[in-house]
């Protein structure tokens, strides 16, 4: 009797798995997720995005298609090619903001009795489309290095309802604050422009659902800002060990503590100003291990090593992101060797990183001189 119950349960599990595996699915794609309404180069096409839906039937038969877009049809957006019931449509957006998009596929299938049944499956993507402006006035103030004026104009722009979900005003706000910091400009209403630049950048990154920071003029600035933060709080507290980075190994305990505190503060800041905060976790793990916080360090390595080994490229990272990651990997390799008392895990990580950083002098020297290119 017991074996029959177990067998029945096993069959039930297999049946459930089969049904789930055969469930149809929907996926939405867009030819672009960011639209700049006043983009003079693209002209009218700057407002239009092409949406496509793919349906994996899994033994069912497609019956209907229905697109749903947030906002008001005819005012905020309009279909310029196709219909809401077509698999592919072109949509023109007229209002600044973010838009949710969903597609629902109705399908039919035969049940166990051979009778036709109907159902539907959907995919919804929140904030799938971001519509913004170049904000030419703010861009001109930035180009003119009128940073105090830029801060005040960006603040005024940011509070306008139509920009409530748009990161662009915050980006210009950060640019203004950072410019003030670099130029040493003063204003009685702005006590700490550097801290304000960090806050504005973090706010913009949090709002950036679709990659406004990938627009060249913004990405170039972000790299500069990230470089300033990482240099002044992280890299400055590392030592040069024959061409590659290493932790302070002196006997001054207070100095070591101060350096670790500054780096930890820098890591916290960098995490908030990068679209890819995982890059700084490699430095964090090495610092934690060096400070004998083994539990935290090992938890980070357990999470991050498998992710790194599966990564195909670093195309979406800024140049500063890449430098931070490279530095963290070199520090972590040394840490993993000490932890494991062998080079196995360190070499696994370094061999992967060599595909990205092998042509860079500091990494190649480290990989060759310290680890003999992991040949042993």
Separation of alpha carbons 235 and 280, rounded Å: 12
Q: Tell me the pLDDT tens digit for each residue of 131-149.
A: 888 888 999 999 999 999 9
> Which class is domain 21-132?
mainly beta
Mean pLDDT, the chain, as a whole number? 91
% of the chain surpassing 90 pLDDT: 75
Q: Tell me the pLDDT tens digit for each residue of 165-207.
A: 899 999 999 999 999 999 999 999 999 999 999 999 999 999 9
Separation of alpha carbons 305 and 291, rounded Å: 20
Q: Tell me the pLDDT tens digit for each residue of 2-56.
A: 445 445 544 444 444 444 346 899 999 999 998 888 776 777 788 899 999 999 9
105 and 55 Cβ atoms separated by less than 8 Å: yes
> The pTM is what?
0.80
Separation of alpha carbons 175 and 218, rounded Å: 9
Closest CA to 308 of 270, 357, 353, 249: 353
80 and 92 Cβ atoms separated by less than 8 Å: yes
- Reply yes or no on whether the pLDDT at 111 is more than 90: no
In this prediction, residue 289 has a pLDDT band, given cuts at 50, 70 and 90, of very high
User: Within 13 Å of residue 5, how many CA atoms lie on the same side as its CB?
Assistant: 2
Cα–Cα distances in angstroms (integers) from residue 218 to residues 131, 170, 171, 173, 189, in the given order: 16, 11, 8, 12, 26
In this prediction, residue 376 has a pLDDT band, given cuts at 50, 70 and 90, of low
- Reply yes or no on whether the pLDDT at 223 is more than 70: yes
Interval 331-348 mean pLDDT = 97
As beta bridge partners, residue 65 has 105
Per-residue confidence (pLDDT) for residue 375, from 0 to 100: 83
Range(s) within the chain of domains with CATH label 2.60.40.10:
21-132
- Reply yes or no on whether the pLDDT at 1 is more than 70: no
Per-residue confidence (pLDDT) for residue 22, from 0 to 100: 62
Separation of alpha carbons 175 and 374, rounded Å: 43
Q: Tell me the pLDDT tens digit for each residue of 316-339.
A: 999 999 999 999 999 999 999 999
Higher pLDDT, residue 155 or 42:
155
Per-residue confidence (pLDDT) for residue 92, from 0 to 100: 93
Q: Tell me the pLDDT tens digit for each residue of 231-288.
A: 999 999 999 988 889 999 899 999 999 999 999 999 999 999 999 999 999 999 999 9
């Amino acid at each position: 009797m017991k074996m029959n119950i177990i067998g029945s349960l096993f069959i039930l599990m297999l049946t459930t798995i089969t049904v789930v595996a055969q469930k149809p699915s929907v996926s939405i794609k867009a030819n672009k997720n960011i639209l700049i309404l006043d983009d003079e180069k693209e002209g009218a096409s700057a407002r239009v995005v092409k949406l496509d839906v793919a349906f994996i039937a899994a033994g069912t038969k497609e019956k209907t298609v229905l697109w749903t877009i947030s906002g008001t049809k005819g005012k905020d957006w309009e279909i310029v090619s196709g219909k809401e019931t077509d698999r592919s449509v072109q949509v023109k957006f007229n209002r600044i903001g973010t838009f949710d998009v969903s597609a629902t596929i109705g399908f039919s299938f035969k049940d166990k009795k051979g009778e036709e049944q109907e159902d539907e499956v959907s995919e919804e993507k929140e904030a799938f489309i971001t519509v913004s402006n170049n904000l030419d006035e703010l861009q001109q103030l930035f180009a003119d290095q009128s940073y105090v004026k830029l801060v005040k104009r960006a603040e005024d722009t940011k509070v306008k309802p139509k920009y409530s979900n748009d990161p662009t005003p915050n980006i210009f706000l950060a640019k203004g604050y950072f410019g003030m910091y670099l130029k040493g400009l003063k204003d009685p209403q702005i006590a700490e422009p550097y801290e304000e630049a960090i806050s504005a950048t973090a706010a913009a990154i949090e709002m950036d659902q679709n990659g406004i920071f990938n627009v060249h003029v913004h990405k170039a600035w972000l790299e500069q800002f990230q470089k300033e933060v990482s240099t002044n709080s992280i890299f400055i507290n590392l030592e040069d060990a024959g061409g590659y980075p290493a932790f302070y190994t002196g006997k001054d305990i207070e100095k070591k503590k101060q350096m670790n505190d500054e780096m930890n503060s820098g890591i916290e800041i960098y995490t908030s100003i990068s679209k890819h905060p995982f890059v700084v976790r490699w430095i964090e793990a090495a610092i934690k291990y060096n400070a004998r916080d083994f539990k935290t360090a090992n938890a980070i390595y357990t999470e991050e090593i498998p992710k790194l080994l599966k990564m195909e490229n670093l195309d979406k990272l800024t140049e500063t992101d890449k430098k931070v990651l490279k530095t963290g990997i070199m520090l972590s390799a040394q840490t993993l060797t000490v932890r494991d008392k062998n080079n196995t895990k360190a070499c696994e990580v370094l061999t992967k990183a060599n595909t990205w950083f092998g042509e860079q002098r500091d990494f190649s020297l480290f990989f060759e001189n310290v680890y003999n290119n992991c040949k042993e």
